[in-house]
Amino acid sequence: MESTITSSKYTEVQGFLNANQFTWLVTGSAGFIGSNLVEGLLKLNQKVVGLDNFSTGKSENLDSIKESVSSDQWERFSFVEGDVRNLEACKSAMENADYVLHQAALGSVPRSIDNPILSHDNNVNGQLNMLVAAKELKVKKFVYASSSSVFGDHPELPKVENLIGEQLSPYAVTKYVNELYAKVFSKCYGINVIGLRYFNVFGKRQDPNSVYAAVMPKWIKALMDGEKVAIYGDGKTSRDFCYIENVIQMNILAALTDNPEADNQVYNCACHDRTDLNTLFGYIRDGLSEHLPHIKDVEPVYQDFRAGDIRHSFANIEKAKSLLEYEPTHFLNDGLQNSLDWYRTNLANT
């Protein structure tokens, strides 16, 4: 099921890319978001360099890209196995790049609480290396992944970019530091940098098997495997779930914007749509039960709230609409249906 909503600016930009080839560096290219960005760019006939150290990314994701694009498009992709914590690896991968989409990071609030040093090393030192490389190699635009976790405990809903509170986890701190470094590099060195605060991104290739798996793939796999689904807290915690196609759109719009006011900013990357976890569980269960009728009456189990979790996450996206001409094309229901179809096909035999 595909959404019928279109973004006129994005359609215009896609046409421009189909007619003009650039070189893009995507870090974290074997991961969930990175692999989808690579696929989206290759389908627009761009030249793409991927950089990944496979700490959380998977070679199977690159294989999946190869199957989904034409042979000519695949020939435009080159892969570098390397680590963003190594400055020379960053410079080597970035050579000749016009645009950088920096996605490489260690995600997950719980993982950062378990190992804050590792999260800092990957997320902060890794981005600092990438910014230094971008400065030296003079790329046109540096777009990087930030996070809604930066908002911390600020009570304002919906979340507006310039109103943040105290960060609640080491992961949130690393993403806030990323934003500070980006701002300083734009001021000190004149590079064009844009940050995207991702709000609960979901879609194909999101790993359900990690101990730190995101809620949606984790629940889908549990229901398919006949296992219990755990909800932390009372299930009234809410999130702004953002389908991967919206993230691809926003990265490309950010990289190619010709609006000088849009550069050197941070934007919410979301849908301005709010769903609580109880409702999400019902959507997933009902969507899967069409093919797995034995799960139609399954109920979740409730556990204690997790440390570091934000209670409600709901984005104001007016800044992105105004300055980037972003318009989400996929909302929760269309994206969820696409995701369920993908997981049923790809997890059935795992």
Q: Are strands 23-27 and 99-102 parallel, antiparallel or unpaired?
A: parallel
Please, are residues 238 and 274 in contact by the beta-carbon 8 Å criterion? yes
Kindly name the residue from 10, 99, 144, 171 that is annotated as catalytic.
Answer: 171
Rounded Cα gap, residues 161 and 123, in angstroms? 20
Give buried/exposed letters for 116-133 (b at 16+ CB in 10 A, else e).
Answer: eeebbebbbebbbbbbbb
167 conformational bin, left if phi > 0, alpha if psi -120 to 50, beta if neither: beta
d(CA 262, CA 194): 8
Q: Which two tokens stand for residue 271?
A: 């849908």
Within its chain, how far is the Cα of 116 from the centroid?
A: 21
3-class DSSP assignment, residue 98: coil
What element of type H or E holds 10? helix 8-19
Q: Is 191 exposed, middle or buried (0-12, 13-18, 19+ CB in 10 A)?
A: buried
189 noted as active-site residue: no
Active site residues: 171
